[in-house]
A and B are shown apart, each in its own frame.
Chain A
Amino acid sequence: MQNIIQNLIIGLQIGAVYALIAVGYTMVYGVLRLINFAHGDVYMVGAFVGLKLAERLGMNVASTPGGFALVFALTAAICALVGMIIEFLAYRPLRKAPRITALITAIGVSLLIEAIAQMIWGAKPQYFPRIFPPTIFQFLGATISSSYLLILLASVVLMGVLWYVVIGTKMGKAMRAVAWDREAAALMGVNPNLVISFTFALGSALAGVTGLIVSALTNVSISPLIGVMPGLKAFVAAVLGGIGSIPGALLGGLLMGLAETFVAANPAITTWRDAIAFVLLILILMFRPAGIMGRSVVEKV
């Protein structure tokens, strides 16, 4: 029983991280119909930028609430900028190109970001100093680290902010309009290019701060390739939930985090942890090709 509770918490935490990344995939897919392969790498950039900013600021400053807030805000801003630059340089010229062309470009951009990161920061794994030492406590017999709960809490807050931006602001309304029908939205006075830029900024900022939070609160390593697996899995989570749907991305992320944790917790199949995401994906796509919450589009001739 305590194991189940423990795995539930860990699974929810991993799932929340996937969900935060998946939202970026799903929003970009919504407005552009493009799998932004570079999105996972923005997560990595966020982790690195956060680490370097904190080092520049001094760790004892960065561990104060105000200092960390500064690092957090700067990381979000830099990652948003990175996302907008990617969109402007690589994807905007291909707006009218076939989708495969854009997909191949996205793969290229992902490779390029990883290479640049390796060039600047090196391939050797680096670690965020434990600026927020976790407290371990018992809950119904399960051992739980406070850092998991903090990540979970941060994810809920970030999701709330995202929800407000998409539902409550004029820009969010424009995003939804562009996702629904770009041409019609343009006729109604929405500037699609601005909206797409904003979507990239929002998604990339989310992915970047996720990278920062995860690496600052848990002792995972930071290296140029850490974005690949979370990125792929988050994308699978987005497809699982129904790509283009934000609640779907949430659901898919949580589902995947839980599935992965419970597989990893079972000693007989623990080494299959990295495969379970893709097994789930193939199963779901076989029975519900549009994902759990996606709407299936009927192709008209």
Chain B
Amino acid sequence: MSFFRSWFGKLALLVGIGGILFVIGNFLSDRSHFHPYYFRIVMLIGIAIILSVSLNLVNGVTGQFSIGHAGFMALGAYSAAAFTAYGQYRYFPPLDSAAPLVQQGALVLSMLVGGSMAALAGFIVGLPSLRLRGDYLAIVTLGFGEIIRVAILNIPQVGGAAGFSGFASEHGRITIPQITTFFWVYATAAVVILFSRNLLRSTHGLAFFSVREDEIASEAMGIGTTRIKVTAFVISAFFAGVAGALYAHFASYLQPETFGFLRSIEIVTMVVLGGMGSITGAVLGGAILGAAPDLLRIAVGEIRKVLPPDLAKNFSPDLFRQFVYAFLLIILMLTRPQGLLGTRELSLGWLFGRRREPNRPLTKSST
């Protein structure tokens, strides 16, 4: 496979992946081939993968414990949505009816806006709080998520508690344009996966691992642990913000409650399920739990039939989802705390039974 190691090969690979994504996207978003309901699930899975792989950088690789990822996603979603909803008419034409190229350009810009805002917030929160360890950090990230949520509730320009759905203006009703495409969701997912993989194979990546394995020892080896942790936080927040931007322009309606504590826990569950520290594990976890809400909806009807009537009347899809997350977290921690894959990676070679030298340090279970 040395062809793919040359720069020309890499370029060809990128163009190839892009082309495949483009073709699949065209096929899936065509309503005559593919039911929009399933298309929705496919899109939500893609967004879940971005979130889960990006959180894995903090929770898995660097060994910190953040339970405020939804806060970064919210920040990205709201700032990106504000950018396009208010930027229409002023900087670019109304996006819902614009030419595809204009739509795509605006989407990419809004992704950058959302990502940068989230990264900035990641830096501001990370700098003081990453000096804290373990539980304290967890609780600060949780608090940060809550602060973001309350802040959004207090900004009438983005709808507050009623949600960001549409505003009257001299041009008529301004809404969040629905311009997210399959291509950009999965291209972003590919970028965050490749970015993580390359980072972890570099010297910098080793520094991230060393912080996870033993903070004091790595500090003694001359690694600026705070700097490493803040870096991980900022990168992770950036991608969460991008995921938020994609979500905003897909759903075209935002509500602060969507990005509450439960959402953060959902993303943590994805990472934990796949195995903290494993990129492919995070992809797997994101794919499974990204599809879960809609698949569970189908199961709920069946379960209702077998439950006693007074319990069945309270049994809703949301409730079932909560049961599933709760059981997943508890059972996993009691029986397989390293998650499905542990810190290993799935690869083609592994699938076909070829043994490869591990390209990463052997790690003890993360603390």
A99–B135 touching, CB < 8 Å: yes
| Binary interface encoding of chain B residues 203-233 relative to chain A, with 1 for a CB under 8 A from any of its CBs, else 0 | 0000000000000110010000000000000
B294 interfacial by beta-carbon distance below 8 Å: no
A289–B132 touching, CB < 8 Å: yes
Whole-angstrom CA separation of A108 from B332 in the bound complex:
10
Residue ID in chain B nearest A90 by CB atoms: B330
Whole-angstrom CA separation of A47 from B332 in the bound complex:
30
B289 interfacial by beta-carbon distance below 8 Å: no
A1 interfacial by beta-carbon distance below 8 Å: no
Whole-angstrom CA separation of A114 from B319 in the bound complex:
9
Residues of A within 8 A of B358 (CB): none
Known interface pairs A97-B337, A285-B132. Does A119 touch B329 (Cβ–Cβ under 8 Å)? no
Known interface pairs A100-B65, A301-B216. Does A111 touch B144 (Cβ–Cβ under 8 Å)? no
Known interface pairs A90-B330, A282-B129. Does A108 touch B142 (Cβ–Cβ under 8 Å)? no
Q: Which positions 254-301 of chain A face chain B at CB distance < 8 Å?
A: 271-272, 274-275, 277-279, 281-282, 285-286, 289, 299, 301
Q: Which positions 42-71 of chain A face chain B at CB distance < 8 Å?
A: none
Residue ID in chain A nearest B67 by CB atoms: A107
B326–A112 touching, CB < 8 Å: yes
Residues of A within 8 A of B101 (CB): none
B363 interfacial by beta-carbon distance below 8 Å: no
A281–B140 touching, CB < 8 Å: yes
Residue ID in chain A nearest B151 by CB atoms: A275
Q: Contacting chain B: which of A139-147, A190-198, A231-239?
A: A231-239
A274–B150 touching, CB < 8 Å: yes
Known interface pairs A104-B333, A285-B129, A285-B132. Does A35 touch B139 (Cβ–Cβ under 8 Å)? yes
A228 interfacial by beta-carbon distance below 8 Å: yes
Whole-angstrom CA separation of A103 from B142 in the bound complex:
13
B136 interfacial by beta-carbon distance below 8 Å: yes
B330–A112 touching, CB < 8 Å: yes
B334–A105 touching, CB < 8 Å: yes
A236–B143 touching, CB < 8 Å: yes
- With beta carbons under 8 angstroms apart, the residue of B138, B319, B323, B366 that contacts A103 is B138
- With beta carbons under 8 angstroms apart, the residue of A35, A120, A282 that contacts B138 is A35
B147 interfacial by beta-carbon distance below 8 Å: yes
Residues of B within 8 A of A104 (CB): 268, 272, 329, 332-333
Residues of A within 8 A of B272 (CB): 104
Known interface pairs A123-B314, A275-B147, A299-B216. Does A111 touch B326 (Cβ–Cβ under 8 Å)? yes
B367–A115 touching, CB < 8 Å: no
- With beta carbons under 8 angstroms apart, the residue of B142, B315, B330 that contacts A119 is B315
- With beta carbons under 8 angstroms apart, the residue of B136, B147, B153, B333 that contacts A108 is B333
A122–B334 touching, CB < 8 Å: no
A118 interfacial by beta-carbon distance below 8 Å: yes
A27 interfacial by beta-carbon distance below 8 Å: no
Whole-angstrom CA separation of A299 from B150 in the bound complex:
36
Nearest CB in chain B: distance from A123 CB, A: 7
Known interface pairs A97-B337, A118-B314, A120-B311. Does A109 touch B139 (Cβ–Cβ under 8 Å)? no
- With beta carbons under 8 angstroms apart, the residue of A98, A107, A239, A279 that contacts B147 is A279
Residues of B within 8 A of A272 (CB): 150, 154
A109–B65 touching, CB < 8 Å: no
Contact-residue size bin, chain B (C-beta under 8 Å from the other chain): 35 or more
A221 interfacial by beta-carbon distance below 8 Å: no
Nearest CB in chain A: distance from B156 CB, A: 11
Residues of A within 8 A of B337 (CB): 97-98, 101
B198 interfacial by beta-carbon distance below 8 Å: no
B105 interfacial by beta-carbon distance below 8 Å: no
Nearest CB in chain A: distance from B30 CB, A: 39
Residue ID in chain B nearest A235 by CB atoms: B139
Whole-angstrom CA separation of A123 from B319 in the bound complex:
10
A93 interfacial by beta-carbon distance below 8 Å: yes
Residues of A within 8 A of B189 (CB): none
Whole-angstrom CA separation of A10 from B326 in the bound complex:
36
Residues of A within 8 A of B144 (CB): 278, 282
A94 interfacial by beta-carbon distance below 8 Å: yes
B19 interfacial by beta-carbon distance below 8 Å: no
Nearest CB in chain A: distance from B4 CB, A: 37
Residues of A within 8 A of B138 (CB): 35, 103
B328 interfacial by beta-carbon distance below 8 Å: yes
Nearest CB in chain A: distance from B53 CB, A: 19
Residues of B within 8 A of A98 (CB): 337, 365-367
Residues of A within 8 A of B328 (CB): 108
A119–B319 touching, CB < 8 Å: yes
Residue ID in chain A nearest B153 by CB atoms: A271
B131 interfacial by beta-carbon distance below 8 Å: yes
Residues of A within 8 A of B217 (CB): 301
Residue ID in chain B nearest A99 by CB atoms: B134
Whole-angstrom CA separation of A178 from B143 in the bound complex:
30
Whole-angstrom CA separation of A1 from B168 in the bound complex:
44
Known interface pairs A112-B327, A271-B153, A282-B129. Does A119 touch B135 (Cβ–Cβ under 8 Å)? no
Residues of B within 8 A of A119 (CB): 311, 314-315, 319
B366–A289 touching, CB < 8 Å: no
| Binary interface encoding of chain B residues 65-80 relative to chain A, with 1 for a CB under 8 A from any of its CBs, else 0 | 1010000000000000
| Binary interface encoding of chain A residues 21-49 relative to chain B, with 1 for a CB under 8 A from any of its CBs, else 0 | 00000000000000100000000000000
B26 interfacial by beta-carbon distance below 8 Å: no
B330–A109 touching, CB < 8 Å: yes
Nearest CB in chain B: distance from A103 CB, A: 7
Q: Which positions 109-167 of chain B face chain A at CB distance < 8 Å?
A: 125, 128-129, 131-132, 134-136, 138-140, 142-144, 146-147, 150-151, 153-154
A94–B334 touching, CB < 8 Å: yes
A-B contact pairs, 12 of them (CB 8 A): A93-B334, A98-B366, A109-B330, A111-B262, A112-B323, A115-B319, A236-B143, A239-B139, A271-B154, A274-B150, A281-B143, A301-B217
With A104-B332, A118-B314, A123-B314 known, 10 other A-B pairs at CB within 8 A are A108-B328, A111-B262, A111-B265, A115-B323, A120-B314, A235-B139, A236-B139, A271-B150, A282-B129, A289-B136
